[in-house]
Amino acid sequence: MSSIESNERLMLIIICVIPFAALLYCGLVFATLLTVPAAKTYPLIFGGVFALIPLVTGAAIWVGPRRSSSHDSVK
């Protein structure tokens, strides 16, 4: 299997999986905010935490490979 075919499969998997993962995450957030008493008392804090989790995860994925490739170019 060439790398182009594997990249196409990877993109297809990513395109299909990410929306379902986002829906699952939104359901988890709503369920938590509706059932956990502390989340009902402090909804802005919990909402902020739930908003930061995907942001930090995405930033780590975005920056991670660039960090390792920049070290390779320095050598």
pTM of the predicted model as reported, rounded to 2 decimal places:
0.65
For the cut 60, the answer to whether the pLDDT of residue 1 exceeds it is no
For the cut 70, the answer to whether the pLDDT of residue 51 exceeds it is yes
In the chain, domain spans: 3-67
Query: The tokens of 8 are what?
Result: 């196409």
Tokens 């499969």 label which residue? 9
